[in-house]
Structure 1
Amino acid sequence: MAFGVRAPKNPVPGMDLAGTVTAVGAAVTRFAVGDEVFGVGKGSFAEYATARESQLALKPANISFKQASVVPVSACTALQALRAAAG
């Protein structure tokens, strides 16, 4: 690994996430603490996870967190299948 950086001994699995924003970085403009969001971020099976602003969207009020959490990767999987089928 470059620069002596090592991967965690016990990495947390998960990519899909949905939850309530508890903190934001100084450069974040699209979200605020308390916003309900969904998207992708590494280690999303943990109690708290981080994600880039560009990888999140506001969760619609008419869907649950469980429903929102499966959208990102399943949508990408469906798109990949369509592209593969199209040749």
Structure 2
Amino acid sequence: MNSSQKSDEFYEKLKGQLYETTSWPAEYLYKFIVKSDIKKIALVETIFDNMGAVINTVESKNGKYTSVSVNLLMRDPDAVIEKYKEVAEKVEGVISL
């Protein structure tokens, strides 16, 4: 199984879980880990620009990584997954939690 198939399976499972556990539209909290590079952090923030997102960043103890939390109102699980895919596509080395 290649990484694309694993990724598709992951998103399908997440979509099902989100439909089962949440009434939509709903607030959703994204969490990402990126290397502490101002350009990468800004890129994550730009992806959620003009959406009314509340974004918080916390640098790791040694300063090598930064946690980026994004809280915003999403219309449905498909919209949630679209944003995960967009971040994964545009931000090199990002870890989605």
The normalised TM-score by structure 2 is 0.25
Is the radius of gyration larger for structure 1 or structure 2?
Answer: 1
Instruction: Report the structure, 1 or 2, having the larger strand content.
Output: 2
Pick 1 or 2: higher relative contact order, CA cutoff 8 A, min separation 6. 2
